[in-house]
């Protein structure tokens, strides 16, 4: 069975990612801690810790925030767990332990723990699984508990989670006296499976499988709970976000073939199907998840690895509907995409999954956080015009990052992704060690130890030194964008032996040096013919990085610019946007006219266009941006 190399066995030393991980630890974690305590002026209040204090009986007050406000703390704690796995920190542990102590005080005698219902009435718990996210919050709690336990060996939060998981097992299942429901927002399936992996308690896996297998059966459980609450089913179904497809619950999961509904829910469902299916040896769940995933990456994914094309329900719409200026492309959805991709890879290793992880990591996820780690995009459009964003009420696009959100699911999700980055870099089983991403790091997998030195994403040189060969054979991912490359061992160029997107180096020896050289060519990417907004346009990529035009270098009215066929050049700019490789090309600007419409040809002038990495846009104040540019 394939698995990620333990996080404490990977030491990242990468020029690109290591500063972001250190920033997450030294800046983002304390910033979020203060935000959860409502100590950061000028940002949306969280009330998260105060909700726990009220639920614990330490102060009076009402619940504030979304039903799932508790999950912000659990995702923060998961990120802390990964940070502590890399380096122990007594002060940070003390903070985390204080939050765990508070959660323990709020936990009910039967193990239940959700501050929304503890404060607003325990008699209402488990009465609205469709909307109120109890099981979603539980899933994040379980994942946080496993991460923190693995980092510190402290079992208090693990015990809290097991008590809540036991409570769920007592209340849900196939038995007649139990509830036969499933979550409206998927996530608990991953959490329960992970809790099973840590504790060996099989009923946690069984419950995850029950939730998956029950989903989509008729009569619909969501109808039944609505009726029990004395409400009308017809009223529940009147909006798109109240339909069963929105919740991926209109048909059983094994019968689903295309992505629909809320994008994060869809991908959390797929990740849970793969994780629980693989743990249980149920290949039908893995295959069903693969079908929907393939629909996403081939027909419903943006070039940046963003997913979810409409703000209505934060959802998928239909194949090839990928508008650039009003796409929702929630940061959490790109994170959920790589969570699904890496689990599929570990079920059936293939380089195509690493390609998607790479695409989303360098583009759709990093764009969600500012370069200083303290401001965030909830949505990640591919085109912005600030005046339109600010004026039209049908855009739902922010033209600058925010310090926090009332619905703050994305910031702590980015935190746990960056501090847990090493889990996406390597895959192992007893026979093989797969190098999935080229991030400079030392890795120890069983009796095999490597030093990986990478110049990604700006250059394509990779050097792997075998410090200890051990018993594992090496497999090295060949990125899908690398049409040509050189593969050598100890200076001797090797024939290509690619299988499922990987070069297999075979059994290496101590001291061997493996090198890979991937040409970082600037490519003009075209879209599928079914996407009307990109007809006659190109997007620039270099290696895994998507580029964009910003107003700062190119002036306003970016829609009047076209890119010619003149050669493109690259320029490293150390002082720009934290250090980036820019791309320059010759372009043409159409000049405006004094009349609204005219039959006269527009005048043009030549202009040099400067492209910057998409992930770094929006760090210099408000301004226009676009990824897709007309081809002259």
Query: What long-range pairs does 292-299 form, CB within 8 A, spacing at least 24?
Result: 292/256, 292/257, 292/258, 292/259, 292/266, 293/340, 293/341, 293/344, 295/257, 295/258, 295/259, 295/319, 296/259, 296/266, 296/267, 296/337, 297/356
Least confident of 79-83, 404-408, 431-435: 404-408
- CA dist 225 and 416 (Å) reads 34
Which stretch of 140-149, 255-264, 400-409, 455-464 has the lowest confidence by average pLDDT? 400-409
Every domain of the chain with CATH number 1.50.10.20 lies at 253-419
Query: What are the C-alpha distances in Å from 145 to residues 160, 316, 371?
Result: 8, 31, 29
Helix (H) or strand (E) holding 88: none
Q: Is residue 399 over pLDDT 80?
A: no
The arithmetic mean of pLDDT across residues 442-461, rounded, is 97
Question: The domain 427-517 is classified under which CATH number: 2.60.40, 3.30.70, 1.25.40, 1.10.3470?
Answer: 2.60.40
Residue in the structure block whose two tokens are 């910033």: 31
What confidence score (pLDDT) does residue 408 get? 64
Structure confidence at residue 141 as a pLDDT band (50, 70, 90): very high
Question: Is 273 in contact with 343 (CB distance < 8 Å)?
Answer: no
**Catalytic site positions:** 314, 409
pLDDT value for 35 = 93
Q: What is the tens place of the pLDDT at every residue in 200-223?
A: 999 999 999 999 999 999 999 998
More confident residue, 450 or 44: 450
Please name the helix (run of DSSP H) or strand (run of DSSP E) that holds residue 120, with its range, or none: helix 115-120
Q: Note the pLDDT of residue 377.
A: 81
φ/ψ of residue 255, rounded to 5: -100, -5
Q: What percent of the chain has pLDDT over 70?
A: 98
- What does the block give as tokens for 385? 């015009």
Q: In this structure, what token pair is assigned to residue 310? A: 């409409």
User: Residue 407's pLDDT band (boundaries 50, 70, 90)?
Assistant: confident
Q: Mean pLDDT, to the nearest integer, of 38-48? A: 90
Q: Which residues of 324-336 are buried (b: 16+ CB within 10 A; e: fewer)?
A: bbbbbbbbbbbbb
Report the pLDDT averaged over residues 77-81. Answer: 97
Whether 237 has a pLDDT exceeding 70, the answer reads: no
Tell me: pLDDT of 421 over 80.
yes
Q: What is the mean pLDDT of residues 108-121?
A: 98
Q: Which residue has the tokens 């990740």?
A: 271
**If you average pLDDT over residues 339-368, what whole number do you get?**
97
Largest CA-CA distance found in the chain, in angstroms, rounded:
78
Residue 611 CA to residue 542 CA, distance in Å, equals 11
C-alpha separations of 58 from 46, 51, 117 in Å: 18, 10, 16
**302: closest CA among 382, 208, 243?**
382
CATH (residue range 253-419)? 1.50.10.20
Greater model confidence, 546 or 376: 546
Strands (E), 293-345: 315-316
Q: Tell whether the model's pLDDT for residue 164 goes beyond 90.
A: yes
CA distance 297 to 381: 17
The mean pLDDT value for 294-318 works out to 95
- Residue intervals of the chain classified under CATH 2.60.40 are 427-517
């Amino acid at each position: 069975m394939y698995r990620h190399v333990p996080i404490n066995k990977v030491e990242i030393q990468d020029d690109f990612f290591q500063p972001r991980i250190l920033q997450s630890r030294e800046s983002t974690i304390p910033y979020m801690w203060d935000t959860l305590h409502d100590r950061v002026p000028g940002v949306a209040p969280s009330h998260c810790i105060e909700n726990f204090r009220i639920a614990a009986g330490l102060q009076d007050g009402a619940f504030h925030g979304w039903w799932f406000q508790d999950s912000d703390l659990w995702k923060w704690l998961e990120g802390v767990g990964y940070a502590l796995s890399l380096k122990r920190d007594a002060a940070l542990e003390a903070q985390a332990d204080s939050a765990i102590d508070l959660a323990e005080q709020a936990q009910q005698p039967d193990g239940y723990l959700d501050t929304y219902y503890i404060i607003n009435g325990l008699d209402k718990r488990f009465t609205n699984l469709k909307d109120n996210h109890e099981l979603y919050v539980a899933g994040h709690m379980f994942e946080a508990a496993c991460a923190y336990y693995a980092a510190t060996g402290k079992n208090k939060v693990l015990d809290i989670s097991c008590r809540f998981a036991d409570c769920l097992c007592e209340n849900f299942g196939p038995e007649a006296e139990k509830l036969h429901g499933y979550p409206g927002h998927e996530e608990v399936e991953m959490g329960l499976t992970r809790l099973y992996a840590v504790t060996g308690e099989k009923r946690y896996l069984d419950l995850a499988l029950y939730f998956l297998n029950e989903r989509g059966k008729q009569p619909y459980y969501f109808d039944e709970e609505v009726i029990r609450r004395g409400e009308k089913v017809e009223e529940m179904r009147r909006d798109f976000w109240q339909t069963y497809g929105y919740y991926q619950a209109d048909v059983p999961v094994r019968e689903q073939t295309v992505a629909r509904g809320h994008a994060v829910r869809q991908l959390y469902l797929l990740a849970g199907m793969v994780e629980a299916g693989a743990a249980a040896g149920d290949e039908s769940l893995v295959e069903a998840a693969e079908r929907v995933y393939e629909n996403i990456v081939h027909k419903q994914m943006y070039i940046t690895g963003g997913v979810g094309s409409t703000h209505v329900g934060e959802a998928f719409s239909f194949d090839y509907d990928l508008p650039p200026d009003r796409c929702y492309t929630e940061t959490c959805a790109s994170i959920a995409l790589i969570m699904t991709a890496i689990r599929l890879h570990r079920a059936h290793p293939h380089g195509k999954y690493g390609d998607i992880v790479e695409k989303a990591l360098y583009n759709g996820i990093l764009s969600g956080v500012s370069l200083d780690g303290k401001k965030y995009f909830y949505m990640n459009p591919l085109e912005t015009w600030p005046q339109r964003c600010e004026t039209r009420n049908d855009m739902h696009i922010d033209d600058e990052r925010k310090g926090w959100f009332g619905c703050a699911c994305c910031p702590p999700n980015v935190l746990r992704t960056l501090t847990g980055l090493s889990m996406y870099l390597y895959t192992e089983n007893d026979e093989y060690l797969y190098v999935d991403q080229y991030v400079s790091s030392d890795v120890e997998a069983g009796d095999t130890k490597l030093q990986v030195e990478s110049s990604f994403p700006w250059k394509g040189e990779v050097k792997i030194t075998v410090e200890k060969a051990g018993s594992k054979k090496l497999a090295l991912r060949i990125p899908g964008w690398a049409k040509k490359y050189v593969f050598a061992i100890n200076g001797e160029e090797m024939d290509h032996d690619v299988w499922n997107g990987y070069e297999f180096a075979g059994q290496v020896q101590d001291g061997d040096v493996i090198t890979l050289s991937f040409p970082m060519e600037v490519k003009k990417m075209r879209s599928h013919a079914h996407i009307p907004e990109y007809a006659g346009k190109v997007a620039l990529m270099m290696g895994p990085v998507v580029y964009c035009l910003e107003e700062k270098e190119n002036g306003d009215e970016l829609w009047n610019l076209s890119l010619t066929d003149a050669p493109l050049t690259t320029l490293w700019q150390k002082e720009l946007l934290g250090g980036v490789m820019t791309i320059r090309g010759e372009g043409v600007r159409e000049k405006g006219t004094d009349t609204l419409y005219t039959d006269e040809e527009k005048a043009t002038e030549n202009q040099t266009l400067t492209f910057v990495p998409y992930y770094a846009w929006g760090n210099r104040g408000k301004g226009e941006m676009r990824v897709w540019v007309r081809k002259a």
